[in-house]
Amino acid sequence: MLIDPHIHMVSRTTDDYEAMRAAGIVAVIEPAFWLGQPRTSVGSFQDYFSTLVGWERFRAGQFGIRHYCAIGLNAKEANNEALAEEVLALLPLYLGKEGVVALGEIGFDDMTAAEERCFRAQLELARELDMLVLVHTPHRNKLEGTRRSMDLCEEHGLDPGRVVIDHNTEETVREVLERGYWAAFTIYPRTKMGNERMVEVVRRHGAERIIVDSSADWGASDPLAVPKTARLMRERGIAPEAVRAVCYANALAAYGQSGAMREEDWLAPPPVDQRQLFHGNSVLRGQQPVVEERAAARDALVIE
């Protein structure tokens, strides 16, 4: 069994859900993200957050995958300061919804003063609500941004064991682990971290507190990055228990602390019934619905 704990499914197709399930993915976490162009009103954020806790959760279930999410204001969007203030006021309405496992993804993009103010405000909110945090580290100035992110988490009194630092590379992983955080790695086809490099990271640093995800979105990305990386690890001689840790168990251990994500959710799920509707809407467009008499045996899935 596999978990993809950082994937933007609102950008993906139902074909992706079917392929992910066939590859052994039983659960996903979808962090709040930006659209690729600026949002212009707080209402667009409200509709988007509602999609993450509503329609997308339903859609995933219709294809046999358990869906969770993280809610937060993305670093890139923090630079519209007037709109950011409205979004920050909106967040508490969603952070307690069913299936929300963390506040995120938040952090730095260009490391501006506005981004830091928004980051601090959300860290404080996470502390007040006792929530897990998912941190986005910047694509530029990666090491500096990662260190600054951890410094701010500690300044606001967050327990590193309840913070996932994502988009790590070889230059950041050691310090992230030494400071007690969960170290997540985004596997992209041509940037950030490839699966061959990921194999060597696990070989060098071990599997403890390391998490593999795809962050698949509307750009060049791969919703099957986790199963492909798991398979390559096995082929390259990484121990099965280490593969299971970084591609399944560590994500469950980290986000399971929220109380909103439990292994029982996919080990004993309701059977898929695509005749079901969400606000009167179906995932089908005239196709024959899939109706399972009983749920698929998820504990039978293995990494080959």
**Is 292 inside a domain boundary?**
no
**Is 281 inside a domain boundary?**
no
Count how many domains the chain has.
1
Across the beta sheet with 100-107, what order do the strands follow?
2-4, 25-31, 66-71, 100-107, 133-136, 163-166, 182-186, 210-213
**Is 304 inside a domain boundary?**
no
What lies within 8 Å, CB to CB, of 114 at 6+ separation is 78, 79, 81, 84
**Is 297 inside a domain boundary?**
no
Structural domain of 236: 2-275
**Is 288 inside a domain boundary?**
no
Q: 304 pLDDT band (50/70/90 cuts)?
A: very low
**Is 299 inside a domain boundary?**
no
DSSP 281: B
**Is 284 inside a domain boundary?**
no
CATH code of the domain covering residue 63: 3.20.20.140
Look over the chain and give the mean of its residue pLDDT values, rounded to a whole number.
Answer: 94
Would the pLDDT of 192 be above 70?
Answer: no
Tell me the pTM. Answer: 0.94
> pLDDT tens, 217-235?
998 899 999 999 999 999 9
**Is 300 inside a domain boundary?**
no
